[in-house]
Amino acid sequence: MQSSKGKGKVIIISSPSGGGKTTICHKLLRKNKQWKFSVSCTTRQKRKGEKNGREYIFVDRPEFIGLRRQGFFAESARVHLHYYGTPCGPLDKVVNKGGVILLDVDVKGAASIKKKYPQSLSIFILPPSKAELKRRLKRRGTETKAQLDVRLNNAIAEMEQHNRFDYIIINKDINEAAAAADHMIKSWTVGVTHFGRNKSKAYSVYK
Ligand code: 5GP
């Protein structure tokens, strides 16, 4: 497993369910055709319109557990009621050979990836308010009432973790939020770095 220093750029995009990260990832990938998307494995059911190998690689639980045991995943987590895992292969390929890869993962996944790839960029997409988040989740209509409750409770817990990320985007307008993410990623890939108050760290690259 390649760790911090590599040629490629790892971009972590996270948000609570309904925060808008999937739509933002689609917009970024449509605009930047050379960027890759890390297709995760999941044990959840395929939704209408999803295609195996495109949004996710759909596997059953024993298969997932087998893959995890073989070290197939860079990280894996139980999210809501299912398992999700980021395959190492495509991620390491980009890190070693160059390019940009986007990861759409939950907060736990984001923390694990950041630990393994400290030079990754992490962006957290926040819905403008809890009430708006609730509205968006309901409008999506992909979950039963019980599943929706699980997602809502998890979302609120995840939102508390926003300050662990390099950048936060408040998603009031999806196009503006996607444009902001695009600028952030491009600035960062050409070397613009933010170290918060720890500016001395920025100088350390010249030593
Ligand atoms: P959904 O089932 O709505 O597609 O995704 C549920 C949650 O799982 C989202 O927060 C999504 O970002 C997260 N997720 C998707 N793939 C992975 C993964 O490989 N690892 C982790 N930790 N979370 C993931």
pLDDT tens track for 82-133 = 999 999 999 999 999 999 999 999 999 999 999 999 989 999 998 888 888 8
Measured from the CB, is residue 124 less than 6 Å from ligand 1?
no
Q: Considering the domain boundaries, does residue 202 fall inside one?
A: no
Measured from the CB, is residue 77 less than 6 Å from ligand 1?
yes
Q: Would you say residue 37 has pLDDT above 80?
A: yes
The residue count for the chain: 207
Q: Would you say residue 205 has pLDDT above 80?
A: no
Are 183 and 29 in contact by the 8 Å Cβ rule? The answer is: no
Position of tokens 């720890």?
198
Q: Can you read off the two tokens belonging to residue 12?
A: 């972590």
Between 194 and 179, the higher pLDDT residue: 179
Local confidence band at 204 (pLDDT 50, 70, 90 cut-offs): low
Please tell me the pTM assigned to this model.
0.87
- Looking at residue 78, its amino acid is R
CATH number for the domain spanning 33: value is 3.40.50.300
Between 3 and 156, the higher pLDDT residue: 156
Q: How far apart are CA 136 and CA 134, in angstroms?
A: 5
Domain hosting residue 130, numbered range: 9-189
Q: Can you read off the two tokens belonging to residue 40?
A: 């995760």
- Number of domains present in the structure of the chain: 1
Q: Considering the domain boundaries, does residue 84 fall inside one?
A: yes
Measured from the CB, is residue 109 less than 6 Å from ligand 1?
yes
Q: Considering the domain boundaries, does residue 85 fall inside one?
A: yes
Q: How far apart are CA 188 and CA 136, in angstroms?
A: 30
Q: Report which of 10, 14, 24 is spatially closest to residue 107, judged by C-alpha positions.
A: 14
